[in-house]
């Protein structure tokens, strides 16, 4: 094989596709079944937006990702991206609003600023405080993570990639001539290796010397009093007291998904508590009811997933600093899925020598003091 890809979730499936599309012989290895719900690439929806409060440096990648989603849908025949608009709500100096406005202004992104009365008038489901404002972005929406993974796997196989599932990677190594990957099923060799480990980064990439924190997150689904009002709804990220953010989506099949953004329990993939407890449901219900009274009428279900956080909450995408034949993509810190198609391109670029995409922010040296 030219390249082995470890992990076939969001990022790994995209990398396998882009490499195979470019003519590489590719082996993809995944420890679970295709499109599983045991990592970070599930839950029915992930927000996508461009006025990015995390850092304006992300915006060029987001602009390109939006273009690539259209191609993925067209080529796979699978619906992935849904444009419904999005609003970032909070006090004017909150990170959510001020950071979004900074990115919108720096990159001349179309947007509107709404005061609390305007938010309530345009989106009657919402009850912001009088001092809150919102940045509305018409081009925002959501992607379906399971559909994205399925589409990329389909395209990867069509392009000639060999994909193995239910096969756990035990260890990997490099030499002057290539890479070797040992799994529960056998040993494979290739010229290069791409590692997209998700929450298994501490295990598979320990020698990077980066402290990854794995965080349990809970996603909740409620039935609102008026489903039609939420079918026409934007995605939103809403910053409340002490900087706590929650986010949500339009109604899909009669259910509305909401969740807190960070603040979950530290865990590992082996120790994560997959049970969602009554007190957690009650806390979310109370929090949402104060801001969107018509939403949490009936709790329907909940599910857990994992964030793999870096210390600064920015990604790690680079050639391995001490392994020339290895490329890594990890630490997506709960906001990476919207970048999936462009990360796939970047990883293929790095395998081939280098990328023109702006990825200096994701250099692992910033986290290890190696700069």
Asked if 259 and 204 touch (Cβ cutoff 8 Å), the reply is no
Q: What is the pLDDT of residue 241?
A: 84
Q: What is the pLDDT of residue 246?
A: 95
Q: Provide φ and ψ at 112, rounded to 5°.
A: -130, 145
Rounded Cα gap, residues 48 and 195, in angstroms: 24
Beta strands in 76-126 (DSSP E): 81-83, 86-90, 112-115
- At residue 28, the 3 state secondary structure works out as strand
Closest by Cα among 227, 200, 255 to 43? 255
Q: What is the pLDDT of residue 77?
A: 98
pTM of the model: 0.96
Beta strands in the chain (DSSP E): 3-6, 26-29, 46-48, 81-83, 86-90, 112-115, 133-137, 141-143, 162-164, 169-174, 179-183, 187-190, 192-195, 213-223, 235-239, 245-252, 255-261, 298-309, 316-319, 326-330
Tokens of 242: 């002490």
Domains of the chain: 3-45+145-208+312-367 (3.50.50.60), 86-138+213-309 (3.30.9.10)
- At residue 141, the 3 state secondary structure works out as strand
Asked if 128 and 120 touch (Cβ cutoff 8 Å), the reply is yes
User: What number of helices (H) and strands (E) belong to the chain?
Assistant: 10, 20
Tokens of 209: 């010397």
Residues of the chain with pLDDT under 50: none
Asked if 37 and 364 touch (Cβ cutoff 8 Å), the reply is no
Rounded Cα gap, residues 70 and 73, in angstroms: 5
Closest by Cα among 252, 245, 367 to 315? 367
Asked if 329 and 316 touch (Cβ cutoff 8 Å), the reply is yes
Q: What is the pLDDT of residue 345?
A: 98
- At residue 180, the 3 state secondary structure works out as strand
By the 10 Å C-beta count (0-12 exposed, 13-18 middle, 19+ buried), 267 is classed as middle
Name the DSSP letter for residue 337.
Answer: G
Q: What is the pLDDT of residue 369?
A: 75
Task: Spell out the alpha helix ranges (H) of 171-311.
Answer: 201-204, 227-231, 278-289
Beta strands in 161-205 (DSSP E): 162-164, 169-174, 179-183, 187-190, 192-195
Rounded Cα gap, residues 268 and 19, in angstroms: 30
Asked if 320 and 194 touch (Cβ cutoff 8 Å), the reply is no
């Amino acid at each position: 094989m030219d390249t082995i890809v470890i992990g076939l979730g969001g990022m790994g499936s995209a990398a396998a596709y882009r490499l195979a599309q470019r003519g590489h012989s590719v082996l993809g290895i995944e420890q679970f079944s295709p499109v599983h719900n045991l990592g970070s690439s599930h839950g029915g929806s992930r927000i996508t937006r461009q006025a990015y409060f995390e850092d304006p440096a992300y915006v060029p990648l987001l602009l390109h990702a939006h273009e690539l989603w259209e191609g993925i849908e067209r080529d796979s025949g699978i619906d992935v991206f849904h444009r419904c608009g999005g609003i970032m709500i909070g006090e004017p100096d909150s990170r959510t609003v001020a950071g979004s406005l900074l990115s919108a202004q720096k990159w001349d992104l179309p947007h509107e600023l709404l005061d609390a009365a305007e938010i309530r008038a345009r989106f009657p489901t919402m009850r912001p405080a009088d001092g809150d404002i919102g940045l509305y972005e018409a081009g925002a929406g959501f992607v379906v993570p399971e559909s994205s993974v399925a589409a990329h796997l389909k395209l990867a196989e069509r392009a000639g990639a060999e994909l193995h599932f239910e096969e756990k990677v035990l260890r990997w190594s490099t030499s002057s001539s290539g890479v070797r990957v040992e799994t529960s099923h056998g040993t494979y060799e290739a010229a290069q290796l791409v590692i997209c480990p998700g929450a298994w980064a501490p295990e598979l990439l320990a020698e990077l010397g980066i402290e990854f924190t794995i965080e349990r997150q809970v996603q909740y689904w409620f039935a609102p009093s008026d489903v039609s009002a939420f079918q026409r709804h934007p995605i939103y990220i809403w910053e409340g007291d002490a900087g706590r953010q929650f986010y949500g989506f339009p109604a899909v099949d009669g259910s509305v998904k909401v969740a807190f953004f960070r603040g979950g329990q530290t865990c590992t993939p082996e120790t994560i508590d997959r049970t969602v407890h009554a007190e957690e449901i009650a806390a979310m219900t109370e929090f949402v009811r104060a801001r969107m009274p018509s939403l949490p009428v009936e709790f329907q279900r909940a599910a857990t997933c994992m964030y793999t956080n870096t210390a600064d909450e920015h990604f790690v995408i680079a050639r391995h600093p001490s392994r020339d034949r290895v490329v890594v993509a990890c630490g997506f810190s709960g906001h990476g899925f919207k970048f999936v198609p462009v990360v796939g391109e970047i990883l293929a670029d790095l395998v081939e020598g280098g990328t023109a995409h702006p990825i200096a922010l994701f250099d692992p040296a910033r986290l290890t003091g190696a700069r």
